[in-house]
Amino acid sequence: MCGRYTLTVSLEEMMLRFMIGHTSVPYHRPQYNVAPGQLVLAIVNDGEQNRLGELKWGLVPPWADDPKIGSKMLNARAESAADKPAFREAVRRKRCLVPADSFYEWKTRQDGTKQPMRIVMRDRQPFAMAGLYETWVAADGSKLSTCTVLTTSPNELMEPIHNRMPVLLRPEDESLWLDRKVNDPARLQHLFTPFDESLMEAYPVSAAVGSVRNDFAELIEPIEA
């Protein structure tokens, strides 16, 4: 699963990298430990330009009786999302990018304990995780906009660390993922291939990242494993 990530680049860098239109944008500060249930930055395309907004991490389907179901919808398996009632419509019509510049995963040591690892691009540039979003309407008419991150099988870098990894989109594929005119899931299947491991690296970081209360720059510093 993908359960923690970072987004430490500036808002200006993000807008340039993801070609975000100059509309109103949310406040952003460097985030070193983004966690489920939080409001996260996400990018959608409105048919004319990319737009940046906030979604709560943990997708709540429109038909849900209780929004607490979102805590179980942090990730969606890319291989089967188009067939699952919770994600079926979103795969066809409500796709987003979740920008990040690393994600964390926990590697099991020989003694059974776990070592948190930070996974980054070798060039340290931000990237896009493939996401889905939905809007849930409460009985009083209030709306809750939420998202989930798609996962796929691991590449060679990730395989010793975890049996899943987020779907990371190549920059040249991001526009297809956001294209609202594309509603045939078959046209998107090739995007779910594990990302090229030669462009990535992983290193151990402090166990302090395990607490969602911690959000400071030292979390991303490499340590001796």
One-character DSSP codes across the chain: ----EEE-S-HHHHHHHTTB-SS-------EEEE-TTSEEEEEEE-SSSEEEEEEEES---TT-S-GGGGGG-SEEETTTGGGSTTTHHHHHH-EEEEEESEEEEEEEPTTS-EEEEEEEETT---EEEEEEEEEEE-TTS-EEEEEEEEEE---TTTTTT-S-EE-EEPGGGHHHHH-TT---GGGGGGGGSPP-GGGEEEEE--GGGGSTT--SGGGGS----
The pair of structure tokens assigned to 102 is 């690393």
Distance CA 94, CA 68 (A): 21
Catalytic residue IDs = 2, 105
Residue in 153, 161, 148 with CA at minimum distance from that of residue 193: 153
